[in-house]
Amino acid sequence: MSTIATLPAIAADPTEPATRTAVSVIGADKIFTLGRGKKLQALAEVDLEIAEGEFVAIIGPSGCGKSTVLRLAAGLDEPTNGRVEIFGAEPRQLARQHRLGVAFQEHALLPWASVRSNIALPFKVAGRPVDDARVDGLIDLVGLTGFEKARPKQLSGGMRQRVSIARALALSPDLLLLDEPFGALDAVTRRRMNAELARIWGEEKITTILVTHDVDEALILADRVIVMTGRPGHVRTVKTVDFPRPRDAEITRSSEFHALVDELTCLLDASDGAAA
Amino acid sequence: MSRLRSAGVNLVHLWPVAFLLICWDVWVLVNGYTSTVAPRPWFVIQDVLAGFADYVPSISYTLGMALGGLIGGTLIGFVGAILVWWSAALSGIVTPTALIIRSVPITALIPIIARIVGYGDPAVLASTTLICFFPAFVFTLSGLAAIPEAGRDLFSVLGANKAQVLGRLGVLYALPNLMVSVRITAPSAVLAAMLAEFLMGTNGLGALFSESRSYMDMERAWGTAVVATVVSVLVFVGAQVAERRVDARLT
């Protein structure tokens, strides 16, 4: 299945409410120079197109370049060949306009700042007045009420990740990039955060790319799941997930859901094998 | 009771000082030195205690010069490092200058400094500033270079400009490093102040030492050395406390 084919084409008629393309990655590869003439090809000819308001999950074996795709979309790296466009412009443009939210694998919290100041940071960097109600709402959302004044070193790993997710959401970004944001959470908190994220996404319809190891998580949250092969990473399969939302326990227990989990897990195994 | 006990423990920790005093006394006695060669510690201590009022102006002058130079040199080093971080062109000017200043021994520089800025107070202050400048420069620069990759990435995706990266990230990562520099240069600042006073000053512990020696008042001269050591240690301890506070707040 081709990636492009699964997407609705941009409508030619401007009067029709068309789905805009939020992210397009065209033939991008990424080669890292490791020194002494050694090179590492992280990505090979990746093509992706993500529509505005879509939630896409990227799964793949470790080291398959999932995070590199996110870094390209965030404008933190540039593709060696190919092109990346976000809302029709170069990726850095979105960051400059303070319309990008990213939760990194490493939480990157400021050690001297409280939970509250860390979440308020995007407002300050953007030069906007801090929206206290919004910050409080986010603190509540990620379940850290009572910890507003705590510093990162006083929090557990999972709590720190939750702060970083709240920070990514602070400015209601147009594009949200999540790099295994729930990696350090226990299974129960993880499921709760999945549900919360699905709820926020349902409300704000932020275009989201989620990188994850967890097939269940991808299926609970995403409209489409992109399976990547091992190094050098490229898109192996794109799977449209059309379970109705909200995807509660009834759906996750269904045999269709399990069948899809099995299918994607098999694909992951196969792509792992291809890498070896 | 427990306070008494802890005071006792602290006293026990002072054993190296007592040991040093005993060694000093034994050394004078065994060699049969007269008080013009080397006075016994007890007479020196007696002079410090009895004539403490005479020491106070010199102590406060030297302390003032050392702290002034410490703060001035640290600030100049800090600003210099930020300039180097900010612009490659400025780096080409500031870095070699800093290295040259560092490579010339301070003792050789003092007469030149005095010739340029004037004898007395300006020379003393300039010398202490100069000795504190380089460590502050190097430590700040290494702090700025050690901003974590994740922090840079974060500020990049937040759309921060260079001034925001510096103000909200760089400076706060550099401050604990800067405090290390303050701790290690603080005793050197006292040393530099005294050296400049000794060579060309009219005030301070350095001048007091040189003056007492020329009057053959050896108890006073050695007393000055003892007082200078205590001042130096206190400045170091003070800097260490400040460093710990900054560290606890920022990391």
Q: How does pLDDT run across B225-244, given as a tens digit for each residue? A: 999 999 999 999 999 999 99
Q: Are A198 and A64 within one domain?
A: yes
- Those residues whose C-beta lies under 8 Å from the C-beta of residue B195, and which sit 6 or more positions away, are B106, B107, B110, B127, B206
CATH of the domain at A67: 3.40.50.300
Q: Are B51 and B123 within one domain?
A: yes
Residues of chain A below pLDDT 50: 1-17, 274-276
Q: Which domain holds residue A114?
A: 109-172
**Higher pLDDT among residues A98 and B9, named by residue:** A98
pLDDT of residue A5: 45
Domain total of chain A: 2
Cα separation, B133 vs A253, in Å, equals 67
Q: Are A84 and A199 within one domain?
A: yes
Q: Are B154 and B66 within one domain?
A: yes
Q: Are B212 and B236 within one domain?
A: yes
pLDDT of residue A275: 45
Q: Which of A138, A172, A206 is the last residue of a domain?
A: A172
Distance from CA of A185 to the nearest CA of B (A): 20
pLDDT of residue A131: 92
Q: Are A165 and A196 within one domain?
A: no
Q: Are B15 and B138 within one domain?
A: no
Report ipTM for this prediction: 0.84
Q: Are A91 and A223 within one domain?
A: yes
Q: Has residue A13 been placed in a domain?
A: no
pLDDT of residue A239: 86
Q: Are B186 and B227 within one domain?
A: yes
Say if B169 is an interface residue toward chain A (CB within 8 Å). yes
pLDDT of residue A18: 57
Q: Are B107 and B147 within one domain?
A: yes
Distance from CA of B168 to the nearest CA of A (A): 9
Residue contacts between A and B (CB atoms, under 8 Å): 57
> What digits encode the pLDDT tens for the residues B146-201?
888 889 999 999 999 999 999 999 999 999 999 999 999 999 999 999 998 998 87
Of B148, B157, B169, the CB nearest to A95: B157
Q: Are B73 and B91 within one domain?
A: yes
Q: Has residue A2 been placed in a domain?
A: no
Average pLDDT over residues B49-62: 92
Cα separation, B203 vs B194, in Å, equals 10
Domain total of chain B: 2
Chain A residues 137-156 within an 8 A CB cutoff of chain B: 153
Of A76, A100, A112, the CB nearest to B172: A112
Q: Which of A172, A202, A224 is the last residue of a domain?
A: A172
Q: Are B76 and B1 within one domain?
A: no
Q: Which domain holds residue B23?
A: 1-32
Give CA angle at A251 (A249, A252), nearest 5°: 65
Distance from CA of A108 to the nearest CA of B (A): 5
Chain A residues lying within 8 Å of B168, measured CB to CB: 110, 121, 124-125
Query: Which of A98, A102, A125, A154 to probe the B interface (max B CBs under 10 A)?
Result: A125
Q: Is A108 in contact with B150 (Cβ distance < 8 A)?
A: yes
| Residue owning tokens 């992951």 | A268
Q: Are A69 and A130 within one domain?
A: no
Q: What are phi and psi of A233, to 5 degrees?
A: -70, 130
Q: Are A31 and A147 within one domain?
A: no
**Higher pLDDT among residues B55 and B96, named by residue:** B55
Q: State yes or no: pLDDT of B1 exceeds 70.
A: no
Of A100, A106, A124, the CB nearest to B157: A100
The burial of A33, by beta-carbon neighbours within 10 Å (0-12 exposed, 13-18 middle, 19 or more buried), is given as: exposed
Q: Are A207 and A71 within one domain?
A: yes
Q: Are A149 and A263 within one domain?
A: no
- Those residues whose C-beta lies under 8 Å from the C-beta of residue A169, and which sit 6 or more positions away, are A101, A138, A141, A176, A200, A206
Q: Are A126 and A226 within one domain?
A: no
Strands in chain A per DSSP E: 21-35, 38-51, 55-59, 81-86, 100-103, 175-179, 207-212, 224-228, 235-240
Q: Is A112 in contact with B150 (Cβ distance < 8 A)?
A: no
Q: Are B60 and B3 within one domain?
A: no
Cα separation, A82 vs A26, in Å, equals 6
Q: Are B48 and B25 within one domain?
A: no
Q: Are B89 and B138 within one domain?
A: yes
The two structure tokens encoding residue B209: 């030492």
Cα separation, B73 vs B32, in Å, equals 45
Q: Are A84 and A193 within one domain?
A: yes
Of A108, A110, A125, the CB nearest to B159: A125
**Strand order from edge to edge, sheet including A21-35:** A38-51, A21-35, A81-86
Give the confidence band of B26 by pLDDT, cuts at 50, 70, 90: very high
CATH of the domain at B53: 1.10.3720.10
pLDDT of residue B69: 94
Q: Is A108 in contact with B153 (Cβ distance < 8 A)?
A: yes
Q: Has residue A6 been placed in a domain?
A: no
Q: Has residue A61 been placed in a domain?
A: yes
Q: Are A93 and A117 within one domain?
A: no
